[in-house]
């Protein structure tokens, strides 16, 4: 059947499309800014008005991954000729790559901080989502004494702004030797995400009819087996959504990471702006670091997009 639409509907539709486009552009603008800056030559990064058309270069990324110092005297032509292409880029920028006594290139701390971020964010997400799912299942399926109070208590851990607990947390962590450790931040982010994870997962699990598990129980499975074979697959959409939110929260966290870590377990968010302090701020390097930092969340969300979009209850339950 052909859809018959009035001109008013068509016009309304066009207005909606234009509005969506404008909103999309507004949201994409900062991302474009970061991405374009990370490919700009240093002298174009702070022009007013911003430079839109330029020849992209990879110098910010080379600088991001190397330790550099100010060039006091120009390199000799021989030195320049002998240097690999990326070292020449550094020379061109008026800097030189730092080498140790044996002439080995000194790399920047960025890859290490990036790894820290990955380890801490992924581990804490796995903990928060798995613990949250099991807790939510318990609250959803069993009669728990004081269920309302307990759930409120869990939620209340999220009510204080982080800055309020930062100092006591710091002192406690110092006592237990958890400052600047991976495990310390993992515990912190897990605890921080857990309330959110429990509440979100409870909503999803409440939606799964309990007849599914009862059918499995009658069919010869234990409750544990029913949980893993029936509830987990049915809750996949919810688990994916919760995981994305927990991951983003842990990945982007700045305040605690700044206070609790400085070297060994430092994550990327406090590290990236710390480069501002060494010499004159090179915004292209900061932009390059930020751009790479955006990728894992983008990839993670992209991989789970089907789960995030898929309707909740497409199943075979009649109500």
Partner 1 sequence: MTQIELRGVQKWFGAVQVIKDLNLSIEDNEFIVLLGQSGCGKTTTLRAVAGLETIDEGDILIDGKPVQHLKAADRDIAMVFQSFSLYPHMSVYENIAFPLRATRMKKTDIDKAVRDVAQVLRISDLLDRRPSALSGGDMQRVAIGRALVRRPKAMLMDEPIGALDAKLREEMRAEIKRLHVKQGSTTIYVTHDQIEAMSLADRIVIMHEGVLQQVGTPEDVYGHPQNLFVAQFVGSPVMNVAPAAVSDSAGKASVTVEGAGEGFAFPSELLSKLNGSAGKPLSLGIRPEGVIVAHEAAEGFLPAEAHIIEPLGSYDIVDLKFGSQMLRARTRSGFVAKAGDRVFARLDPTQTHFFDTASGQSLGVKL
Instruction: List contacts with partner 1 (CB under 8 A).
Output: 209, 211-212, 214-222, 225, 230, 233-234, 236, 314-319
**Taking Cα atoms as reference points, which of 193, 186, 192, 38 lies closest to residue 116?**
186
Closest CA to 194 of 139, 262, 276, 234: 139
Comparing CB distances to partner 1, the nearer of 99 and 210 is: 210
| Structure token pair of residue 313 | 């209850």
What separation in angstroms does the CA of 173 have from each of 148, 169, 204, 263?
Answer: 31, 6, 34, 16
User: Are the C-beta atoms of residues 195 and 152 closer than 8 Å to each other?
Assistant: no
User: Which C-beta is closer to partner 1: that of 160 or that of 317?
Assistant: 317
Instruction: Kindly state the helix (H) or strand (E) to which residue 254 belongs, with its residue range.
Output: none
Identify which of residues 27 and 314 has a Cβ nearer to partner 1 in the complex: 314
The count of other CB atoms within 10 Å of the CB of residue 122 is 17
Q: Decide: 208 and 278 in contact? Cβ < 8 Å.
A: no
Q: How far is residue 186's CA from residue 220's CA, in Å, rounded to a whole number? A: 38
Least separation in angstroms between residue 315's CB and partner 1 is 3
Q: How far is the CB of 300 from partner 1 (least distance, A)?
A: 22
Q: Are 271 and 117 in contact (CB under 8 A)?
A: no
Give me the least distance between CB of 314 and partner 1, in Å please: 5
Closest contact distance (angstroms) between CB of 221 and partner 1 is 5
3-state secondary structure of 244: helix
CB of 312 to partner 1, least distance (A): 11
CA distance 258 to 268: 10
Shortest spacing between CB 230 and partner 1, in angstroms: 6
Report the residue number, 84 or 220, with the smaller CB distance to partner 1: 220
Q: Report yes or no: 57 and 90 within 8 Å, Cβ to Cβ.
A: no
Minimum CB distance to partner 1 smaller for 94 or for 315:
315
Instruction: Return d(Cα 229, Cα 223) in angstroms, integer.
Output: 10
User: Nearest approach, Cβ of 131 to partner 1 (angstroms)?
Assistant: 23
By beta-carbon proximity to partner 1, the closer residue of 41 and 209 is 209
57 versus 225: smaller Cβ distance to partner 1: 225
Phi and psi, residue 72, nearest 5°: -80, -40
């Amino acid at each position: 059947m052909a859809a018959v639409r009035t001109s008013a509907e068509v016009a309304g539709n066009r207005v909606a499309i234009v509005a969506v486009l404008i909103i999309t552009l507004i949201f994409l603008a900062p991302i474009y800014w970061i991405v374009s800056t990370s490919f700009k030559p240093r002298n174009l990064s702070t022009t007013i008005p911003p430079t839109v058309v330029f020849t992209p270069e990879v110098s910010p990324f080379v600088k991001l991954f190397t330790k550099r110092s100010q060039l006091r005297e120009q390199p000799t032509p021989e030195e320049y000729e002998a240097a690999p292409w990326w070292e020449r880029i550094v020379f061109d920028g008026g800097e030189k790559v730092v080498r140790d006594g044996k002439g080995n290139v000194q790399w920047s701390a960025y890859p290490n901080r990036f790894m820290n971020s990955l380890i801490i964010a992924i581990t804490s997400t796995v903990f928060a989502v798995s613990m949250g799912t099991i807790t939510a299942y318990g609250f959803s399926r069993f009669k728990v004494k004081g269920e309302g109070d307990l759930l409120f208590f869990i939620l209340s851990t999220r009510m204080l702004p982080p800055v309020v607990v930062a100092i006591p947390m710091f002192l406690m962590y110092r006592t237990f030797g958890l400052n600047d450790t991976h495990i310390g931040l993992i515990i912190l982010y897990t605890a921080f995400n857990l309330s959110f994870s429990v509440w979100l997962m409870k909503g999803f699990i409440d939606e799964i009819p309990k007849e599914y598990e009862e059918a499995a129980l009658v069919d010869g499975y234990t409750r544990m087996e029913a949980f893993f074979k029936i509830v987990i697959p049915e809750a996949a959409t919810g688990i994916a959504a919760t995981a994305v939110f927990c991951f983003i929260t842990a990945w982007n966290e700045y305040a605690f990471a700044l206070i609790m870590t400085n070297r060994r377990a430092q994550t990327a968010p406090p590290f990236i702006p710390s480069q501002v302090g060494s010499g004159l701020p090179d915004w292209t390097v900061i932009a390059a670091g930020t751009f790479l930092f955006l990728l894992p969340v983008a990839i993670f969300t992209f991989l789970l997009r089907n789960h995030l979009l898929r309707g909740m209850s497409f199943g075979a339950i009649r109500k």
